[in-house]
Amino acid sequence: MTVNWAVTTYDSAFGYVSAHGAPLVDLLDPQPGERVIDLGCGTGTFSAEIAERGAEVLGIDGNPDMVAQATALHPGLSFIVGDAHDFTTSESFDAVASNAALHWMTRDPDQVIGQVHAALRPGGRFVGELGGAGNCAELIAAMQTAWRVFGLGEPELPWYFPSPAEYATKLEEGGFTLRLLEHADRPTRMTEGPGGAADWVRAYAGRALADVPPELVEPLLERVNDLAAPALRRESGWVADYVRLRFAAVRKPDGGASLLTGPTPTPASAPASAPTGPPPPGAPL
Ligand SMILES: C[S@@+](CC[C@H](N)C(=O)[O-])C[C@H]1O[C@@H](n2cnc3c(N)ncnc32)[C@H](O)[C@@H]1O
């Protein structure tokens, strides 16, 4: 899956991705001296939050432009280019964390979980937040209807939004003991996407627009806005219908029962968040 992430505008346009992810660091509860991977680190904002707690962070992202930006913004931290499906590490880590990235890793979610397992020491934590089942359902329905109205095929949607049961099974079959799993609505104001659903499609579903004849793009997106507005446009502005899956899991010891040697994940206090090419505008996905 290739997403055209506009790295230069990513932080300003989608800064609120990280803002919504902030409490995730409380669930991770990094300890001074721990070694933590931030998987799908983007420009490194979440990595920096982890490092502020005294942990040693390695940010991994498939997009070299993201890694370059993260390195420029956080010169004291380590970032490398790597695909979550097949990265390797020379040491074992105490925790792997991931914010708003796992749902973009669609080639094989089981393989991603397997790589995380391999990177962790027994007892190491895997803590993450991703789009869950039902994420952006209104936005996606508006897209599908508009595409149909314009006689186009099904829009190509590049995400993996698992149900809690599905992801729990994957984690458990992947060698983890689940400690916490939340599946919650997270309506998110599109503060940086005044053009509403149309901006969101341009930012996050640009691939679906790639095959649309250029002269149809604007009327198509206008139709998306018309269709999505009743559910998502408020007097105060557009709201994306995000649904988040948040979890904390622990790697089982090899060949035995679960052994929790790291800090016990505690629920966050705050309420219930490819490798190449440009991140998008509007609500961060
Ligand atoms: C929405 S951004 C989230 C960035 C960051 N975690 C944050 O909270 O701001 C998703 C990130 O996942 C990365 N990504 C997508 N697929 C990936 C893959 N297969 N391997 C590694 N990174 C990937 C993208 O390049 C992008 O930087």
What CATH number corresponds to the domain at position 22?
3.40.50.150
Question: Would the CB of 46 count as within 6 Å of ligand 1?
Answer: yes
Pocket test for ligand 1, best of 4, 12, 41 (most atoms within 8 A of CB): 41
Give, using CA atoms, the residue closest to atom 9 of ligand 1: 18
**Is 281 domain-assigned?**
no
Nearest CA owner, ligand 1 atom 27 = 42
Amino acid (one-letter) located at 57? V
60 lies in some domain: yes
Sorted by sequence, the CB contacts under 8 Å of residue 238 that are 6+ apart come out as 189, 190, 193, 194, 196, 197, 200, 232
What residue numbers bound the domain in which 129 lies? 7-133+158-192+242-251
Task: Assess contact for 150 and 211: CB atoms under 8 A.
Answer: no
Per-residue pLDDT of the chain (285 residues; tens, 9 = 90+): 334 444 444 443 333 344 444 489 999 999 999 999 999 999 999 999 999 999 999 999 999 999 999 999 999 999 999 999 999 999 999 999 999 999 999 999 999 999 999 999 999 999 999 999 999 999 999 999 999 999 999 999 989 999 999 999 999 999 999 999 999 999 999 887 779 999 999 999 999 999 899 999 999 999 999 999 999 999 999 999 999 999 999 999 886 444 444 444 444 333 333 444 334 434 457
Ligand 1 center to 151 CA (angstroms): 32
The answer, yes or no, to whether any atom of ligand 1 lies below 6 A from the CB of 273, is no
69 belongs to a structural domain = yes
Indicate whether 119 belongs to any domain.
Answer: yes
Residue 209 in domain: no
Report if residue 162 sits inside a domain. Answer: yes
Q: Which two tokens stand for residue 18?
A: 């990280």
Distance CA 182, CA 188 (A): 17
The closest alpha carbon to 131, from 121, 123, 139, belongs to: 139
Tally of structural domains, the chain: 1
Whether residue 75 is contained in a domain is answered as: yes
Ligand 1 atom, smallest distance to 107 CA: 19
DSSP structural state of residue 129? E
158 touches ligand 1 (CB under 6 Å): no
Number of the ligand 1 atom closest to the C-alpha atom of 41:
6
For residue 146, being part of any structural domain is answered with no
